[in-house]
Amino acid sequence: MPDRALLEVFPTPADSPFVIEHVAEEFTSLCPKTGQPDFGVITLRYAPAARGVCVELKSLKLYYQSFRNEGIFYEAVTNRIRDDLVALMHPAWLQVVTDWKGRGGIRSRIRAEYGDVPVDWRTR
């Protein structure tokens, strides 16, 4: 069962704003309708708040693994991760993009966002 208690943080190591991206290529959960496994790639991007915190990488891996036997839709996975990580870190900006392998010849991408995109990320 997805478990946000698995997530841990550490203080941001810099005074200046910066951006962090973690790409997890080995995510799997179950389709709540059919019980069939879904496979996806989870991209997390965020800018820690000033004097804020960052999510610890190994705890993030364990949190993602807690979805392994959960029946949950693409859209719900994406918004759930967004909400859990925003509640954890209160970042300046956060974006979750999930890319799902095809089902019935259709592949899908879902994107949820929190806060304003940093100016320099906008410009590439």
Would you say 5 or 77 has its CB closer to a second copy?
77
* Residue numbers at the binding site for a second copy (CB under 8 A): 12-14, 16-26, 28, 36-37, 39, 54, 57-58, 60-61, 65, 68-69, 73, 75-76, 78-79, 82, 95, 101-114, 117, 119-124
Least distance (Å) from a second copy to the CB of residue 111? 5
Of 55, 57, 48, 120, give the one whose Cα is nearest residue 84: 55
**Residue 68 and residue 63: Cα distance in Å, rounded?**
10
Residues with active-site annotation: 31, 38
User: How many other C-beta atoms are found inside a 10 Å radius of the C-beta of residue 25?
Assistant: 10
Q: How far is the CB of 5 from a second copy (least distance, A)?
A: 18
Rounded to an integer, what distance in angstroms lies between the CA atom of residue 70 and that of residue 27?
Answer: 12
Q: What are phi and psi of 46, to 5 degrees?
A: -155, 160
